Amino acid sequence: MPRTRPGASILHCDPDALHAAAPPFTTVQKRRIVCTVGDAQARFSRMKSTSKKRTPSIVNLTVKRRYLTQREIDRLMDCARKHRRYGHRDATMIFVAYRHGLRASEVCDLQWQQIELSEGRLHVHRVKNGIPSVHPIRGDEMRALRKLRRDYPRDAHVFVSERGGPISPIGFHRLVQRLGEAAKMPFPIHPHMLRHACGFKLANDGHDTRALQHYLGHKNIQHTVRYTEMAPDRFKDFWRN
């Protein structure tokens, strides 16, 4: 037997015994990797399948310019009158939503009891804890609403579908989207652009920010300031002699 230094006897142990005593680290690590990859693939598959079922939101359809101009809204209304079966109803719905800064759910829930045609007033009910208010109804809007009332004399809601029920927000969204395509708008549009168009139009006309806040039903005035900040006409008197 060859000589060995003290403490070096482990070098001459039986290889089979040493292998048998060693824990199977390699096998355990392989199993853990397989399980981890499999779990990750399963989670990715579930996320991928559920993402297809999500409905498109406003954020997905929003372009850099978040509002429409008066000329663009006129194009939508003209397109509705010429190419839609219920052209007057659709054009009036867009007009009322724009004139009063209504959200899709607010214009769809609008009822005739909120409208005083004889006095020219509209009682606006806001969602999202917004401030309710009473808006004036001008002559062009008054004539459109009177004609719509003659067409639908028995309905409680102002804007109803073929089945007699109120138009849903999804239906209004699709209506505006189709009209935008028919009017050959250069970008996709959605109903909330009508509310933004109202805010920017009134801000450009120089109306008071506090009055505009209550007109749009904002609880926080910071939501109204964004319209006045973007108004180009607020600098029109600068450097004028």
Q: Among 126, 190, 195, 196, which one carries the catalytic annotation? A: 195
Q: Among 89, 99, 100, 103, which one carries the catalytic annotation? A: 103
Q: Is 218 a catalytic residue?
A: yes
Chain centre to alpha carbon of residue 35 = 40
Q: Is 150 a catalytic residue?
A: no
Q: Is 100 a catalytic residue?
A: no
- Name the more confident of 165 and 233: 165
Q: How confident is the model at residue 86 (pLDDT cuts 50, 70, 90)?
A: very high
pLDDT at 58: 42
Claim: this prediction has a pTM higher than 0.85: no
CA–CA gap between residue 213 and residue 226 (Å, rounded): 11
Contact present, 92 and 151 (Cβ < 8 Å) = no
Q: Walk across the sheet containing 115-116 and list its strands.
A: 115-116, 121-124, 133-136
Q: Is 138 a catalytic residue?
A: no
Residue from 192, 206, 203 nearest 103 by CA? 192
Q: Among 31, 65, 128, 210, which one carries the catalytic annotation? A: 128
Q: Is 123 a catalytic residue?
A: no
Q: Among 75, 99, 190, 218, which one carries the catalytic annotation? A: 218
CA–CA gap between residue 59 and residue 135 (Å, rounded): 29
pLDDT at 18: 46
Q: How confident is the model at residue 97 (pLDDT cuts 50, 70, 90)?
A: very high
Q: Is 99 a catalytic residue?
A: no
pLDDT in tens, 183-231: 999 999 999 999 999 999 999 888 989 999 999 999 998 889 888 876 6
